[in-house]
Amino acid sequence: MKKKKNEAAKATLKLKPVKVEWTTRGVLKLLIAFIILFGAFALFLEYSWKSNKKEVKFIESDYSYVKAKITNKSTYKTWTLTVAYKVGDKTYKESEAVRNNSLKIGDSIWIKYSNTKPNLIIIDLQ
C-alpha cells in the first residue's frame, strides 16, 4: 500500500512546463497595475517628506538644546540613534535617523527639542 502511495506521489510531481503567451490585453493590465503601484508609492514618499518638513519647521519655530545620551544604535535599513534626555523633571527616550554612524552607545550629543512638545527632536550631527 505504501509503495502505491509513493508511486502516485512521484507521478503527480512530474509536471511539464507550460508555455505562457502574453496577450496585448494582459500586458496592458500589468502595465496599469505597475503605474498604479508606482503612483501610490510616489504619493507615500511625498506625504512622508512633507510631514517630516512640517515637523522640522514646528521644532525650529521654538526650540532649545539639551545634552542627550545615546542609549541604542540600529543599522537596520538606516542608521538610527535612540537618545535619552531630560527636560524639566521628565526623561524622554526618542529615536531618529542620522547620517553619521561613528557614534557609540553611551556617547553624549547635543540635540534640539521642541519647547512645546519635548518629545519632538532633531539630531543634527553636522
The pLDDT tens digits of the residues spanning 38-57 come to 999 999 989 888 888 888 89
Please list, residue by residue across 63-86, b when 16 or more beta carbons sit within 10 angstroms of its beta carbon and e when fewer do: beebebebeebeeeeebbbbbebe
Is the pLDDT assigned to residue 126 strictly greater than 70? Answer: no
5-26 tens-digit pLDDT: 666 656 566 777 888 888 999 9
Residue 98's pLDDT is: 85
Answer with the residue of higher pLDDT: 35 or 126. Answer: 35
Whether residue 37 has pLDDT greater than 90: yes
pLDDT at 27 over 70: yes
